[in-house]
Structure 1
Amino acid sequence: MRVLFCSFIFLFTVLTGTAGNGLDRNPDVIKLESKYSLDLITDSFDGGDYAQRWAYWTTPDSADSVAFREFMVVFANEWNKYPVAWIKVNNLQKIAFVKNLTVSGQQRFAMPDPYDETLYYDIEYLIYGSEYVSEMIHHEFWHMIEEQNFGTMYFKSTVWCSFNRAGFRYGNGGSDAYTDGKYVDGEHTKLGFVTNYAMYGEEEDRGEVYCWFFTKRTWNLLNAWIIEDRILKNKFDWMLDFMETRVPEMDRAFFEKMNSQD
């Protein structure tokens, strides 16, 4: 009877999935956790107070293993571009991979929670293409970086704003792009801005400039535009100096090499 009871417990554990969804066994998850000393969360978790207040998400299950594997190929390719020192100096601790992510009721690819040092990414967004996902992986990390270095995700910099033309005013934040009915995708339609989205907020402007350093297409465009766009050149120089000051290896040569291999 004792043997039968133990066998039943083992079978119950397997059938009810108490061992989790198994996504933590993904090779890219294991390698990234080891390399960067990060906690990559693939299963159910509560999240911090900020996330609980503003966000909603569901947990991927074993049926999402193919989608998760495909997402992790893109994610690992982008994340491995970072020096270990860059992650350490910005104090990121956790990355949560979720589904059906909403922030304040708006569907989102990602959400930074700088108070719990956690980044959330929705694995289902590959339907919008790997190029979009690749860029936004970095953009969303910028918001964590901004809070870590300036104490807020909405830092107001007189230096940064001085780069813009006199009289320019940013919008009311990136969330308005989802709701104002006026947003149109576009790249470098206005001097000083890599995208139309960058004009929605000072923090979004920096996030867009930052993420454009990390993919070959955007890096090449950025470097072509700053030849004649003095405003954008100033923002480029500010961002490069910001990174290099904190992690010296992240100089122009670092990005040239990275984007020649991408």
Structure 2
Amino acid sequence: MSQLSSATPRGQRLMTLTCPRARHVPGCLPFLALWACLTWPLAGQAAPANAVRSPDSLALECPVPRYPEVTPEGSRARLRHWAQQALRPWGVSLGWHAEEGRSFADSPQDRARLRRLLDVVVPTLQRLPRSLLPRYRVRRVVLVKDLTVSGQYRLAMPAPERDSVLLADNGTSLCDAGMALRVLHELHHVFEFRDAGAYDRPDTAWRMLHDPVFRYGQGGASAYGGHFVNRGHPSAGFVSAYAQFAQEEDKAETFAWMLTPGYEARVQAWAQEDPQLAAKVSWMNAWLARPPNGRLPRR
């Protein structure tokens, strides 16, 4: 959460701390801040008409098309309660509203979509060490539908300024293992932001793990809006094609591929023949094992 100036009116400071939309309202108009907060739960209820949908980039790299159904049937309230109880030991609460997406309605169609999302998200988070999310102040996992960012549909996005990660069902056919991978990928962006104070701070030690001649691409956002295919292990040192777009994507992809069942076995096999990738896997394992507030591993 961003810091507020002491000059900000007290009423708006309180509303801004409890309602992110209020931070965009001028301090001299507190009644508009109140309006922003009152209408916040309704925000994002209509996805942009011209939002771009991209095909599933992991469709050709799908080791597990469907996860077992673990979420009980029932009302939306029951689904929410079950999920919150299932994840309570991991120190996170669940949110159901975000201005970038739409809230799940209590309709048969939306309950089915929410169950499908929970069938992936809950087991994925439960495989993480229980101390990991609290260590990096990931306090909320927000589940919505039809998430859009900059006019493009997204399945997940990091939100460290809200101590959150946003995850979505966008109503499209999707590989469940690929969605699990995306959950971990976006979480790593939050971890990196906490460690480095930015998503993309240069890390010389990491770059030394692969061929020094290699140059990253134009950033992860450049893969959206087209027909990008995220193939696995396209060259030495990289778990996926998307890992080659930017250093932060390389780290997040390595983390996610090596911790997602189905992809994990592939990474282990590739690393046996690829010393550069093996070095990155070792680096990431050391990072996972470090104590709270410990130093990042160095080569």
How much does 1:32 deviate?
3.4
Q: Distance in 1 between matches of 2:156 and 2:174?
A: 13
Aligned to 1:29: 83
Give 2:198's match in structure 1, choosing from 126, 134, 152: 152
Equivalent residue runs for 1:233-244 within 5 Å: 233-244=278-289
Q: Could you tell me which of 101, 109, 112 is aligned with 2:147?
A: 101
Equivalent residues in 2 for 1:79-158, closer than 5 Å: 79-124=125-170, 127-158=173-204
1:208 corresponds in structure 2 to: 253
For the 8 Å contact 2:146–2:168, the answer to whether it is kept is yes
Give the structure-1-normalised TM-score. Answer: 0.76
The answer (yes or no) to whether the contact 1:126–1:133 under 8 Å persists in 2 is no
Matched, 1:66 2:106: no
Rounded to whole Å, the distance in 2 between the matches of 1:78 and 1:135 is 9
What letter is aligned with 1:112? P
Q: Could you tell me which residue of structure 2 aligns to residue 57 of structure 1?
A: 101
Count of paired positions: 215
Cα drift, residue 45 of structure 1: 5.1
Give how far 1:100 is off. Answer: 1.4
Q: Deviations over 1:105-152 (max 9, x none)?
A: 221101101111111111236621211111111111110010111111
Match of 2:224 in 1: 178
Letter matched to residue 76 of structure 2: L
Superposed CA deviations along residues 67-117 of structure 1, whole A, max 9, x for unmatched, are: 111221221111110121111111111111111111122211011011111
The residue identity in structure 1 corresponding to 2:88 is S
- Matches of 1:242 and 1:171 in 2, distance apart? 25
Distance 1:45 1:201 in 2: 27
Cα distance, 1:24 vs structure 2: 4.4
**Mapped contact 2:141–2:166 kept (Cα < 8 A):** yes
Query: Which of residues 206, 222, 234 is equivalent to 1:189?
Result: 234
Q: Which runs of 5+ in 1 are unaligned?
A: 1-21, 47-55, 248-262
Alignment partners' CA distance in 1, 2:248 and 2:215:
13
Q: Higher relative CO (CA 8 A, sep ≥ 6), structure 1 or 2?
A: 2
The answer for unaligned runs of 5 or more in structure 2 is 1-74, 293-299
Moved over 3 A (4+): 181-184
CA deviation vs aligned residue, 1:222-256 (integer Å, no higher than 9, x gap): 11111121110111111000010137xxxxxxxxx
Counterpart code for 1:31? Q
**What value does the CA root-mean-square deviation take over the aligned residues?**
1.9
Q: Distance in 1 between matches of 2:171 and 2:246?
A: 23
Aligned partner of 2:277 in structure 1 is 232
In structure 2, C-alpha distance between the alignment counterparts of 1:245 and 1:60, rounded to whole Å: 38
SS of 1:70 mapped into structure 2: helix
The amino acid that maps onto 1:108 is R
Aligned partners of 2:115 and 2:227: how far apart in 1? 36
* Whole-Å separation in 1 of the counterparts to 2:204 and 2:239: 20
Instruction: Report % sequence identity.
Output: 26
Amino acid of the structure 2 residue aligned with 1:224 = A
Alpha-carbon distance in structure 1 between the residues aligned to 2:95 and 2:192: 23
Alpha-carbon distance between aligned partners in 2 of 1:35 and 1:113, rounded to the nearest angstrom: 21
**What is the one-letter code of the residue matched to 1:211?**
A
Compared CA separation, residues 182 and 95, structure 1 to 2 (3 A): closer
Q: Which amino acid in the other structure matches residue 102 of structure 2? A: T
In 2: Cα distance, 1:68 partner to 1:234 partner: 38
Which residue identity lines up with residue 155 of structure 1 in the other structure? R
| Among 67, 92, 102, the residue aligned to 1:38 | 92
